[in-house]
Amino acid sequence: MFVPGNRPERFAKAYASGADAIIIDLEDAVPPGEKAAARAHAAEWVAPGRPVLVRVNGADTEWFHDDVAMCAAAGVAGVVLPKAERAEDIQQIDKPVLPIVETARGFWNVPALAHTPNVRRLLFGSIDFQLDLGINGEGEELLYFRSQLVLVSRIAGLQAPVDGITTVFDRPDQVRADTQRARRLGFGAKLCIHPKQVDIVNECFGPTPEEKAWAKRVVEAAATAGGAAISLDGEMIDRPVLARALELLKHFREP
């Protein structure tokens, strides 16, 4: 979840929101005149006992190098790089990097970005991406691009990518629908901009009771089959199905 770097009074609340990771934002959320102050607020707050991510300003800005230098602090677990387009920019950062793919050039170069050392996970900046390409719509209009990020992440051996934000936070049905779409497409997480979104996103990326029960039945049945294919609830249970059940139980949080 993003928290503006110029609002230090919100840092602790964001950290306690239940989000998997907090991103102190020095970029979009901070006006130009407050960049240095936001960086100072972040430097003062981060600590090894409460690790956070930091979204620095872009590599083509005057603030980039100072932002990256601040991220050497022990409490910074990783750097979120906006408008990532070049492997050379990532290589300037010693911490784990989460590049945001949000431009046409960034998408074109995404295989190179994904294979750059220190890259841990790809993020999709869907709002800026639409703007850069002149796309109007969050649904099928972005299906190809989302699917490619999932594919490239898998080939590069990265964690499943993180989908972009939902701009509304007072419409839970919209947040839920967007998150469910992300999970169906193979994303592993979703960016949030408000604490109200966090519980919905966490719920959608966890297994439903039905999925959890199915996975447990599959694993239990397979354990008694000695490696042979078996039938369960009218479904053939073989290695791919067992692997899916194990992956679900391993990676999805408890509801």
- pLDDT score, position 235: 79
Q: 233: which 2 tokens?
A: 């609830």
How confident is the model over 80-133, as pLDDT tens digits?
999 999 999 999 999 999 999 999 999 999 999 999 999 999 999 999 999 999
Closest CA to 162 of 123, 199, 119: 123
* Per-residue pLDDT, 253: 47
Average pLDDT over the chain, rounded to an integer: 93
Q: Give 147-199 pLDDT, tens digit per residue.
A: 999 999 999 999 999 999 999 989 999 999 999 999 999 999 999 999 999 99
- The owner of tokens 């936001």 is 38
Q: What are the boundaries of each domain within the chain? A: 2-204, 209-251
Note the pTM of the prediction, 2 decimals.
0.86
Q: Which fold has domain 2-204?
A: TIM Barrel (3.20.20)
Band of residue 251 on the pLDDT scale cut at 50, 70, 90: low
DSSP element (H, E) containing 190: strand 189-190
**pLDDT > 80? residue 227:** no
108 close to 133: Cβ distance less than 8 angstroms = no
